[in-house]
Each structure stands twice: as structure tokens, then as C-alpha cells.
Structure 1
């Protein structure tokens, strides 16, 4: 026993030594790629870890540790996050000041957007959240201390009702953007080409809330080598059904006069970053992503809708209410959803899981001729209900 304890002590000491040897000396990196993002922790599931925020490219992050495929980064004195090593690159020319002071703000508006522009000394990280009742966008700027003494409001903004900031921590500046109406139509956050101003572009409500004046994006889930789920008895592939149902919705919306953008129209491999880039360019008013569910328990059934941001929940609730008219069980309205196309903040979005391919009864219904048109009709009516609620 004594010898065993000695061996265990030596092994434990060796493990501690390895842990100490693996400690990373802090260094700076910058974000790269089309959709770099931060995660809250090292947790993971089939959709990846819980995302904190998407970031612009060339945002400077301070690496303080390494774990597997991620770096641990220090956002501010009391805030950390994790970033994929594939989403950053080291650069010997990067610098961060001991104190990063904010400068003047400008609030303006033109075309489809209102704009809040904030002067910053570097491309520093940030996180945003949506709030409701009242409707606000709240942005935390990490590593930033206020030296803002001018918030110039040009009077050209039409959707933003007021802006202000707080300094909840010495190195965290919190920006509040209150909206003039109780609805979120989307926003983007990025640095200007010089990297000296952070720009928060807030989408104004469309001038018309009629379907024929809307640009609606439809995403047929999966495709190509990404098969998705398969039917319990028919073995039908989810990727084929999503495209069939997406085309049925496209046809119906075109008949109503809407402009429709499809993320895919064939059985093609289209990655999530490619879909997100396509949608960012198209600037839709909203996105509907169509999927079919599956469970290891064949008794599980029901239709469901999904959202990530609370400001986009009303769209998903309106569509679910209509989908339940098809006599599905209610599997739920599910928030905080970590799906890639639920992540962009630029437009309201809703993922629809029509039903369970693993459930024999629902599989039969979803393969029945004309049922794709029934589902398309309910999704369309849900969109109309959501739009009418804003009048």
C-alpha cells in the first residue's frame, strides 16, 4: 500500500507538471474567416458549444490558455470566452493598450438602416443581446473605458428612439439602443474599413408589411452529402423532403407577390457559412428554414419552431400556432437554439421542424401528396399573422 501511494503521488506530481508546462504565455490573435464566433465555455453537443456572439473579422483577442481545438481568451478583467483556433490567426503587429478609451458617437440614418457609430482605439470584442418590453439592443464592449463626451444625434434616424451607455465595470462599456416600436427587424455589428469606429446598423421596419413587398428567404435544410434524418419505414431522406417543402413554400409566396431567395434549389452541398454569406448579401426581411425531426423513441411526435434571440420569438410563435391547425402534437416553441442559421442577427428567422420522420404516423402524413402545400400554406399564414400584429 505504501509503495502504491508513492507511485500515485509521483503520477499526480507528473500530471501537475504537465498542466503547468501547457500553460500558454498570453499573446494576441485576430479573428479570421466569414463567421468567427465566441463560445461561453468548453461544453459541446451536436450543434456545437453555446455561442456567445459572432464577431467581425480582424477583432483583436488576448489568448490566455489553450484547450483542445479552442483558445481561452480574456475579454476583460472578469470576462473570458473561447474561440476556435481555426477562427483566429496570430499577428506580431497586433497591439492592445492598457486602457482603451471610447470616443465620440454618431447616430444617423439612411435608406433601410439607422446607424450608431462609436469611436474606438482598436477592433475590440463585443457581445449583443436583444431585449423586449421595451425593445432594445444592448451591446457590451469589452476592454473599453468610456471617454465619450459627445453623442451626436443628427435627427435622421427613424427607428432608434434613444441611445445611451453605462460603465458597469472598469473595462466594460454597455451600449443601449432603444427602438421606437416593439419589434426587432434585425441589426449587424462590424468595424468600418479603418477599424476606428464600431458600427451598429439597425434595420428599419419595411415601409410596407404586405407579403408582396417582402423579401423572404427559404432554407431547405441539409443537401448533398448532408443527408439529415431518414424515414422510419420509407427511408426517405430529410434532405429531399426539405427541398420539396421549401419549393412548395417558394411557389406559394411567389403567387402572393413576395420576392423569394432560396439557399439551395437542387440537391447540392451548401455549407452553413455559404448559406449565411448568401443571406447577408440578399438582405431578406425574414428567413424560414425547413427541417424534419427524428428521435430514437418512435412514439415521440409533434411539430415545433425554433429561435435563438428573444426579439425573433413572435415570428416563431405565429408560425407554430398555424402549424398546429394541421392536428400535429405541440412539440414546442424552442428558444436559445444554437443552429447556425439561427445565429445571424440581421433578420428575423424561424426554423420549422415539420414533424418526426421517426414516427410512423407522422411519416405517412408528411409523405402524403399535397401535404407539402398544406404546410406551406400554414407557414405563409403564420408570417401574415406576425405582420398583421405589427399594424
Structure 2
């Protein structure tokens, strides 16, 4: 009886999830360039676990609808499904998912005079019969980008590789499973500086950012995000009752001055007490394409004894940036909350540029709050972030 109970509880999440979806067979297209693709129906206060952010007009095989009618279940491959918000998909009853979608020609080249930032990108193009769904990830040691294309089958293609590439070292692919083609992009640089995946017509493009030449902050375009703002106040100090949004803006403005003294070009996501939503901030950064992004926040906990600095990343290739910044922050105050990975914060999600979320000390801890209230402490915090960025950029050469 004990064994049966244990087995039931182990399998219960599977039963619960499978019963929460009504089976159907439809085909749809993603509506926007920021369509989230989720691993499952689980969530936390920051949202669901995101597999990928898809481009617009991606053709999807819809295999079910959850009972809340909020998410479509989509079939990526025979043994892999994911979930997309209903409002992000245009169902088309006349559309059919392409069967036996064979890959076409492949090409890599380096940007010399064109592109959003001239001379800073390499490209891989894979011709496909339709805009098929995909997912990507970073790997380190060796540094590479791994891209899965779902519904695709390898054809007898060759890869044309131009000598203008600098960031791409090698490209190859393998058919890892039915309807799952895996692309490997080996990088010719010691750190990840970001990449984007998108379609141009039916060609899937992976754009890889090359590392800067100088190894210095001078000339880099750095985005500094002051968390919260306006009606989105953030945490509140237990003693002072002062709001997180005030401190994030103050540190962001101080960091801007620090970086500008180092010769960097700096853009703030907000320069006053305004409420700018996550989607608007992400869209603005996609247009700007900064070299680096730092988001400033201060922490809080229901346990008053918890304190210290922390930094956060989602993608493995950007962890070294978050570690470099945390190392300098701990010289300002040694209390450490930690370096947190695979974090589900909206500004950790982009792969387009290296990014780090900095959480200052806890407004819920009396000792930490006293530190935060000191202007000198906030100035030293800004200096430490600047030093962390400087060290990481130098080490990336």
C-alpha cells in the first residue's frame, strides 16, 4: 500500500497536466515577434518557464487547449510539446503544417558595412519551406549556440561559409530525432556577446554579435534599467517606508555618470518616476541593441534576517557577467545572497545582448535598509557595478 501511494504521488503531476488539456488538431500562426513558448503550464510570480521567444508568423501544430482556455498546447516533435498563450496565436482552419519539411541552402557571412550596428555581426541563414518553430541555447567550454528547428528534416545541403565571418568558427548540424534538426554554431570568441534568432521570409537567421575590439567600456552602448517606477513601486523599507523605485532610479543615474566617465554611451530605460511596462522596455531594447544591459533592483523578503547583494542571469553564457559584477559589489558590503541562475526575470530573457539583474540589499532587513538609505553607499554600489562591467569586458578579449 505504501508503494502504491508513493507511485501515485510521483505520477500525480503527470495525470494532472494531461487531464488539464482538451485534445484538438488545429494549425495556427504566431501573432507577434515576442511570442512566448513555455515548457509547461507551471508558473510563478514572474511567469512560466520559457523555452523560447518566437518570431511572428511561425506555423504551429496545435494539439490541445488547457481547461482555463488560456494556453494552446503545441506539438514540436513526436516526443516534445510546449505551450503558447491563446491570444498570441491566429488559428487558421485552411492552413496545414508542412509535412516532410526539408531544409534548403545554408550560408554564413560577416557584416561589413550593413546591419543595425555595422561590422558587429556574423550571420547564419538556413532556408526552410515554412517558418518553422525553434528553440535555442548557449553552451560554454566550448562556446557555441545550439539551435533546434522543429518539423525540419535534413536534406543533402551544403554550407557556404564566407571569409568575412569573425565570430563564427564552425557550423554543422545533425538530425537528432524525427522532426528535430539540431544546428551547432561554434564561436570564435571566449565570451558570449549575444545572438538573435528570427526569420527573413522563410529563411531562419541567427545573428551573432562579435566581441568588441578594444576590451574597454569606451565606445560601448550600455543600457541601464531602473526597476519599477510610477504606480509600480516595488518593495517598501520596513523602517523608512521609502520605496524601491526611488532607490533604483538613484543608483541608475549614478551608474550612468560612472559609465560616461569611462567613455561609454549610456541609455536609461526611464529617467524619471514613470511606469514603463516589461513589453515596452523589451521592445525598446530590441530597437536599441545595446552592447550590455544592467537592470537595478533592491530585494525584500518575508524573513527579516535575510540580507545581502545578489546578481541574476538566465542564459549560461551570461553568467560570467553576473559573477564579475557580484564580485565587485561584495567589496562594498560582504553580505552575499548569491549568484542566481536560470532566473525568470523579463530582462534576463533576451539573448540579443549580455544582461545582468542586480539586486541590491534587502529593504526588509534593518541593517541592509540603513545601508541603502546612505547616499555614499548607493554611490559605491554604482562604482562597483561599473568596475564589474569593466573587468568582464576586459577579460572577454
**Shorter-chain TM band:** over 0.9
Residue of 108, 123, 146 corresponding to 1:115: 123
Partners of 1:22 and 1:125 lie apart in 2 by 21
**Aligned to 2:60, what secondary structure does the other structure show?**
strand
Q: Gapped runs of 5+ residues in structure 1? A: 1-18
Q: 1:138 aligns with which of 146, 160, 163?
A: 146
Q: Give the RMSD, CA atoms, in angstroms.
A: 1.6
Deviating runs (4+, > 6 A) in structure 1?
Answer: 19-22
- 1:328-368 per-position Cα deviation (integer Å, ceiling 9, x unaligned): 31111010011011001000000000110000110011111
* 1:209 match: 215
Q: How far is the alpha carbon of 1:93 from its aligned partner?
A: 4.6
Higher gyration radius (CA) = 1
Give the whole-Å Cα distance in 2 for the aligned partners of 1:138 and 1:32.
25
Q: Could you tell me the TM-score, scaled by structure 2's length?
A: 0.91
SS of the aligned residue for 2:275 comes to: coil
2:44 aligned counterpart, secondary structure: coil
Distance of 2:253 and 2:73 partners within structure 1: 43
Quick check: 1:178 aligned with 2:166? no
- Show the counterpart of 2:380: 374
- Contact 2:322 / 2:339 at 8 angstroms: preserved in 1? yes
Aligned position for 1:59 = 58
- Provide the residue aligned with 1:44 in structure 2: 43
Q: Deviations over 1:101-136 (max 9, x none)?
A: 111101111121100000001111000010000000
Instruction: State the alpha-carbon separation in 2 of the partners of residues 138 and 384 from structure 1.
Output: 28
Does the aligned pair in 2 maintain the 1:30–1:88 contact within 8 Å? Answer: yes
Q: Output the CA distance in 1 between the equivalents of 2:362 and 2:259.
A: 25
Aligned length: 372
Structure 2 residue corresponding to 1:220, chosen from 197, 219, 226: 226
Residue 349 of structure 1, aligned match among 345, 355, 360:
355
| TM-score, reference length from structure 1 | 0.92
Structure 2 residue runs without a partner (length 5+): 1-17, 112-118
Corresponding residue number in structure 1 for 2:96: 95
Deviation, structure 1 residue 34:
4.1
Instruction: Say whether residues 1:233 and 2:239 are aligned partners.
Output: yes
Moved more, 323-332 or 291-300: 323-332
8 A contact 1:293–1:353 mirrored in 2: yes
Structure 1 residue 20, shift from structure 2 partner: 9.2
Q: CA contact under 8 A between 2:103 and 2:157: conserved in structure 1?
A: no
- When residues 181 and 263 of structure 1 are mapped into structure 2, their CA distance, relative to the original with a 3 A threshold, is same
Q: How is 1:126-165 mapped onto 2 (pairs within 5 angstroms)? A: 126-165=134-173
Deviation, 1:33, is: 2.7
| 2: CA distance, partners of 1:307 / 1:101 | 36
- Partners of 2:367 and 2:270 lie apart in 1 by 29
* 1:21 CA displacement: 12
- For residue 296 of structure 2, the aligned residue among 290, 302, 313 is 290
